[in-house]
């Protein structure tokens, strides 16, 4: 999956859970600037960051795979 697609999916999770970029960045332990680059698809998310996002949004493993790893149809 392309970095931009992952960013779109994370933005959707943020919107659904009323998270700001600043709040998510703090929870993930990265800067807001770094998160903004990742959300824009200019920098890829590390696997450890996807795991962190999964925990922050309390996604079970099935939902995590569905969102980030399966080739979803649009």
Q: Confirm if 42 and 48 have CB atoms less than 8 A apart.
A: no
Please name the residue ranges forming H helices in the chain: 3-16, 21-28, 32-39, 47-56, 61-68
**Mean pLDDT on 64-68:** 87
**pLDDT interval class at 3 (50, 70, 90):** confident
Long-range contacts of 67-74 (CB under 8 A, 24+ apart): 67/9, 67/13, 68/1, 68/6, 68/9, 69/1, 71/1
User: What is the reported pLDDT for 30?
Assistant: 97
Model confidence pLDDT, tens digit, residues 19-60: 999 999 999 999 999 999 999 999 999 999 999 999 999 999
Q: Which secondary-structure segment (H or E) carries 29?
A: none
Question: What is 3-68's CATH topology?
Answer: 434 Repressor (Amino-terminal Domain) (1.10.260)
Q: Which residue has the higher pLDDT, 69 or 12?
A: 12
Give residue limits of the domains in the chain.
Answer: 3-68
Residue 70 has pLDDT above 80, yes or no: no
């Amino acid at each position: 999956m392309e970095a931009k697609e992952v960013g779109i999916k994370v933005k959707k999770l943020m919107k659904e859970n009323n998270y700001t970029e600043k709040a998510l960045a703090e929870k993930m332990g990265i800067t807001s600037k770094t998160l903004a680059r990742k959300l824009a698809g200019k920098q890829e998310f590390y696997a450890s960051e996807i795991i962190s996002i999964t925990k922050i949004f309390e996604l079970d493993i099935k939902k995590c795979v569905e969102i980030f790893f399966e080739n979803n149809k649009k």
